[in-house]
Amino acid sequence: MRITETMRYENVLRDIGRAQQRVLKAQEQVATGKKVNKPSDDPVAASDILRINGEKSEDVQYSRNLTFARSKLQFTDAALDSVEQMAERVRTLGQLSFSDPDKATGYLTEIQGLRDQMIAAANSAYAGRFIFGGSQTTQAPYVKGPGGAVTYGGNAQDMPMQISRTVKVPTQIPGSDLFTGTVDIFAVLDDLATAIQAKDKAGIDAQLRNLETFAESISLSRSKIGGYLNLVTNVESDLSAAKLSHETELTNKEAVDLAAAITELTASQNGLQATLAVGAKISQVSILNYLK
């Protein structure tokens, strides 16, 4: 087949175009530090990079969830620690009433004050949400009626939070498992006050046993919270390892060997200059042939 001048020009233009694309790609890699800047650079690697970045976004969200869950559980534990101390003080007052019933009025006043503090603790809120009402977090779960009786308006939800793709952790314990569960602590305090006022030793003793049961329930709940916090710590450790793995994988898929990229840029620029020089010579020869 006879090669015409037009065909020579077309070949030169194609070569120049390819050389320019090679230069542009090398320049982009050197400028960004990435060997894959668009899907067409490497479709398989681009797909992997998209997946890894998605997993990194998940890591960020799980990290936030873990931080929130840890803080909320620690806050809950601190609230229950306060409740334990209040219950212990009430038990001490009940025991003192056995040996010194003449001070009943002072004991009753303090028990009533501790009862009100207990209601306040049962209505503790974290980040603007009540933590002992189950999923009913926008209204105080415990309400003191006109007659002094305390009612529970929450439910039994433990409000789990997703802290990894496969793990959820409860972030609270409903009040129905704590303050009004096996033992209704508010009724116990009322009955204890009544027994002290009446100097009813059998009644006092019965309520002291109920207080012990309540204290055991709170202690068990705190142990659960400790277990939840251990789970959070373990998942945090796994998440840290996953973050490192994702960063390493992303670097392997995306980061360019800068020295190699600079070498490629130099070579591609030289190649483009050579191609342009060849094109210029062909143009000169063609003009001379035309003049002849």
User: What is the SS3 assignment for 206-261?
Assistant: HHHHHHHHHHHHHHHHHHHHHHHHHHHHHHHHHHHHHHHHHHHHHHHHHECCHHHH
Mean pLDDT value of segment 225-242: 95
| Least confident residue range of 92-96, 107-111, 221-225, 273-277 | 273-277
Rounded distance between C-alpha atoms, residue 157 and residue 48, angstroms? 39
- The predicted-structure confidence for 151-210, as pLDDT tens digits, reads as follows 999 999 999 999 999 999 999 999 999 999 889 999 999 999 999 999 899 999 999 999
Q: Are the C-beta atoms of 212 and 98 separated by less than 8 Å?
A: no
Query: What is the pLDDT confidence band of residue 148, given thresholds at 50, 70 and 90?
Result: confident
> pLDDT above 90 covers what percent of the chain?
54
Q: Please give the average per-residue pLDDT across 49-76, as a whole number.
A: 92
Written as six digits, the tokens of 76 are 């809950």
More confident residue, 11 or 290: 11
Give the span between the Cα atoms of 280 and 257, in whole angstroms. 34
For residue 292, pLDDT beyond 50: no
4-13, 30-39, 106-115: segment of lowest average pLDDT:
4-13
Rounded distance between C-alpha atoms, residue 112 and residue 26, angstroms? 79
Q: pLDDT by residue (tens digit) across 252-274? A: 776 565 555 556 555 555 555 65
**Residue 28 banded pLDDT, cuts 50, 70, 90:** low
Range with the largest mean pLDDT of 25-34, 80-89, 97-106? 80-89
Predicted confidence at residue 285, as pLDDT, reads 46
* Lowest-pLDDT choice from 1-5, 37-41, 131-135: 1-5
Segment 46-74 shows an average pLDDT of 90
